[in-house]
Structures are given as C-alpha cells and as structure tokens.
Amino acid sequence: MIEHTFEEHAEPAAKVDDTIGAMTNDDFEDGAGTGETTDETLPDGLPEKFWDSERQQIPTDELAKSYRALEQKLGSYDGLNIPESPDDYDIDINDQGIQIDPGVNAKLHEAGFSQDQVQLVYDLAGEVLSPMMGNLASDLAIENDKKRLIEHFGGEQKWGEISQQIKAWG
C-alpha cells in the first residue's frame, strides 16, 4: 500500500535537472539514466508531451509536474479508503432482510470499491431490493393460498363459485 506522496520523496524539478545536466553519457552505460537517447526517435512507451525533440531528452520538470497533477487529481491509494482485504469492510446493515455476503465483498474489493462505495451497495440493497423481495414473497404467498383454497373446495370451478358468494357476502 502506498503510504507517502510524490512530494515527500521527489527532489524539486530544478535540482533534478541540474543533476542530469551535470552528468555526461560517460557516467552511464549507453547514456541510460540520463533521460537522453542515442538516436533521434521518441523512446518506446514515452508520450510525445514528455519528449524534447530539440534537446533529445526527457524534460524531467514536465514529467514531475504531470505526475504531481495526476496525483492531486486521483489522490493517493490511502485516500481512497480501500481496506487491506474484503473482510476489513465495516458495513452497517440497517435492514433486517439484508445480510453481509463475503462473496459480494470479495468481488467489490477486487474491483477497488472503497469503504463508502461498499456501504452504498448495501444501503441500496436495503432500500431497493428488500422491498422488492417482500413484494415477491407476498405475491407467492397469495398464489399458494389460492391453490390451497382451490384444492379445499374441490377444484377451480367450484372455488370460482364460492369465491363469488364470499365477495357478495363480504
């Protein structure tokens, strides 16, 4: 887990540039590590915005600036509040019909869900799925009761007649 930010470990860009500028290719085998390339092509995997074609080197100040901006935009991993393991999610269940599911938690953790996001999943399950399940259970109970009444009164036709009488009476 990342515990420090770029700023805590990075030298200021000017200092890095001075160090690189003071080094020569003799300091490194084949110029590796200087940010310079031996030919006039863009190094593999390096975005064009991080290549100074005139000087044939990587502008480290721009690279560092971009990294800091990215870190500010995304935040550090610690700031995302993602626990070490799926078992470390602290979930508050407000609905009696919802239970914590370790399999669901494992999938959410694998997907990088934060503590707040996992809590939201369980809250939504309580608000949306629980009432839906209650309605399904109620509908199923009504169907089962109707089947028992049909059997008790000797078939669907007989139950139809008796149910009409009950409706008229009630």
162 class by beta-carbon count within 10 Å (0-12 exposed, 13-18 middle, 19+ buried): middle
Structure tokens at 64: 């560092």
What does the pLDDT read at residue 79?
A: 61
What are the residue ranges in the chain where pLDDT is below 70? 1-40, 74-79
Q: What is the pTM of this model?
A: 0.43
Q: Which residues contact 35 (CB under 8 A, 6 or more apart)?
A: 20, 57, 58, 60
Between helices 115-124 and 102-110, what is the axis angle to 10°? 130
Which pLDDT score, from 0 to 100, does residue 143 have? 92
pLDDT tens figures, 58-89: 888 888 888 888 877 765 555 678 899 999 99
Cβ contact 25:34 at 8 Å:
yes
CA distance 93 to 125: 10
